[in-house]
């Protein structure tokens, strides 16, 4: 009887030691994996952020340069519709040369006085922001809360068969510094999506660009754009340009504010950390279970042998 108790105590001690060893291994693995995935995701996010910045740098620079051109000022400074229509041909040729020269989906200008909307085809119409919600983007620019003279806006291009585009709206000011209208360029969303899809394929992550409310502005899935929201508490806490790393129920992610765009880059590595922990701990769990089975088998076998001796 004493021998059986001693055996049970030994089994219990061995089990506790193995459980403690597994727990220590788990905690150590969690720490190592967290550091590994954090470093890896930060590097990937930095590369993605730089590539997106570089992609938008050119159209932003073009829009800002065009806004300061004397020809652009003359086009949108017209004070009546008659004056706007008189310069329509020149405006169309000027905007067409910029569009063709840089390969953008669209180049446009709006006169604040007449609301004439100039494109490479001349005057494509007259905006009516007060009565037509499709023209609210114009007043949204004037109400923007930023010191930058440009603003990014995601919208459909009704002139180009309602294709989704990112428009870079840039204010135009006269020599006295008065706002007289705006101009801009449109970058086709398909072009940006191709870049995002390439990042997702190379790094095996999910990439999104969201606005200050969490609304998705760019996603590889076009059905999510301006429809789905990524829930992040108080995005203003992430607005200093640093790359923030988080671990959540759906995996790991980084959040980076992209000052040039006014958007937040969210890079998610869904479930990768859980998979890594499982793959690393599984051998230890198997060894633990085999050890327990062997110990129990030894004592069971020993008990059977003792019973046979007693019966003899």
- Report the range of poorest mean pLDDT among 15-29, 34-48, 122-136, 246-260: 15-29
pLDDT computed for residue 155 by the predictor: 85
The predicted structure's pLDDT at residue 141: 86
User: At 31, is the pLDDT very low, low, confident or very high (cuts 50, 70, 90)?
Assistant: low
What are the two backbone dihedrals, phi and then psi, of residue 69, each rounded to the nearest 5 degrees? -75, 140
- The band of 241, judged by pLDDT with boundaries at 50, 70 and 90, is confident
pLDDT over 70 (residue 279): no
Q: What is the mean pLDDT of residues 75-97?
A: 91
Section 238-265 average pLDDT: 88
Q: 44-66: per-residue pLDDT in tens?
A: 999 999 999 999 999 999 999 99
Q: In 3D, which of 259, 219, 230 has the Cα closest to residue 243?
A: 259
Q: With cut-offs at 50, 70 and 90, classify the pLDDT of residue 284.
A: low
Query: For residue 20, what pLDDT is reported?
Result: 66
Give me the residues paired with residue 218 across strands: 209
The mean pLDDT value for 170-185 works out to 92
Segment 294-306 mean pLDDT: 61
Asked whether 187 and 106 are in contact (CB, 8 A), the reply is no
Which tokens go with 88?
């329509």
d(CA 228, CA 216): 6
Determine the pLDDT at residue 164.
Answer: 86
Taken in order 285, 288, 290, 292, is the CA torsion positive or negative? negative
Greater pLDDT, 302 or 41: 41
Scanning the chain, the segments in alpha helix (DSSP H) are 2-67, 70-76, 81-86, 88-102, 136-142, 189-203, 272-311
Give me 156's structure tokens.
């459909």
Token pair for residue 241? 């340009």
- 294 vs 123, more confident: 123
What pLDDT shows up at residue 143?
Answer: 74
Q: How far apart are CA 213 and CA 236, in angstroms?
A: 10
What does the pLDDT average to over 90-102?
92
pLDDT by residue (tens digit) across 127-166? 998 898 888 889 888 777 667 889 999 987 665 555 788 9
Of the chain, the percentage scoring pLDDT greater than 70 comes to 72
Angstrom distance (rounded) from CA 152 to CA 262: 8
**Residue 15 confidence (pLDDT):** 66
> For 121-130, what is each residue's pLDDT tens digit?
999 999 998 8
Closest CA relative to residue 141, chosen from 124, 161, 155, 162: 155
CB distance 84 to 117 below 8 Å: no
């Amino acid at each position: 009887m004493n021998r059986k108790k001693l055996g049970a105590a030994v089994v219990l001690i061995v089990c506790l030691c193995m459980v403690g060893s597994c727990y220590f291994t788990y905690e150590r693995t969690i720490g190592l994996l967290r550091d590994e995935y954090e470093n890896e995701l930060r590097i990937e996010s930095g590369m993605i952020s730089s590539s997106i910045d570089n992609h938008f740098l050119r159209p932003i620079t073009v829009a800002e340069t065009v806004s300061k051109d004397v020809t652009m000022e003359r086009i949108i400074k017209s004070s009546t519709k008659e004056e706007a229509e008189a310069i329509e041909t020149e405006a169309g040729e000027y905007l067409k040369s910029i569009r063709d020269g840089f390969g953008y989906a669209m180049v446009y200008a709006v006169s604040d006085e007449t609301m004439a909307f100039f494109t490479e085809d001349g005057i494509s119409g007259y905006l009516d922001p007060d009565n037509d919600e499709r023209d609210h983007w114009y007043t949204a620019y004037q109400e923007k809360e930023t010191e930058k003279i440009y603003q990014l806006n995601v919208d459909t291009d009704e002139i180009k068969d309602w294709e989704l585009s990112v428009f870079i709206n840039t204010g135009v000011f006269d020599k006295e510094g008065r706002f007289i209208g705006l101009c801009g360029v449109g970058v086709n969303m398909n072009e940006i999506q191709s870049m995002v899809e390439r990042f997702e394929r190379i790094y095996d992550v999910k990439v999104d660009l969201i606005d200050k409310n969490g609304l998705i502005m760019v996603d590889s899935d076009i059905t999510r754009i301006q429809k789905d929201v990524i829930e992040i508490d108080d995005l203003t806490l992430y607005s200093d340009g640093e790359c923030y790393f988080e671990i959540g129920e759906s995996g790991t992610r980084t959040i980076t504010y992209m000052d040039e765009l006014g958007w937040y880059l969210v890079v998610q590595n869904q479930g990768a950390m859980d998979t890594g922990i499982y793959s690393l701990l599984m051998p230890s769990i198997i060894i633990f279970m085999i050890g327990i089975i062997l110990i129990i088998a030894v004592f069971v076998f020993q008990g059977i042998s003792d019973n046979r001796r007693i019966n003899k």
